[in-house]
Amino acid sequence: MRCRLLLEQGFKPRAWIDVDAKKIGNRIKNVPVVAPDWLARGERKFVLVYVANHGARDFIARDLESMDYRQSRDYLMVG
């Protein structure tokens, strides 16, 4: 729901990333839900981070930085 406006404008995500094992393997809007380690496979992906939980942004930023992702260059905190 958070990125509904992007989807309505034609944005086509390659995947949704989640840490919830119950969600991984499902599809949302015909897009696969994958674990964070998906980002380390294959070519580098540009990431839009939509989170609301307190502390989640810092946790995600640390995880991304550990995979050599850099804010503004490789990912944006948008939610």
Domain count along the chain: 1
Question: How far out from the chain centre does Cα 40 lie?
Answer: 12
The CATH code of the domain that includes 42 is 3.40.50.720
What pLDDT does residue 63 have?
A: 93
pLDDT at 78: 86
Q: Calculate the alpha carbon distances from 40 to 4, 10, 26 in Å.
A: 26, 26, 20
State the residue range of the domain holding 23: 4-77
* pLDDT at position 49: 92
Q: Report pTM.
A: 0.84
Q: What is the pLDDT along the chain (79 residues), one digit of tens a residue?
A: 678 888 899 999 999 999 899 999 999 989 999 999 999 998 999 999 988 787 899 999 999 999 999 999 999 998 7
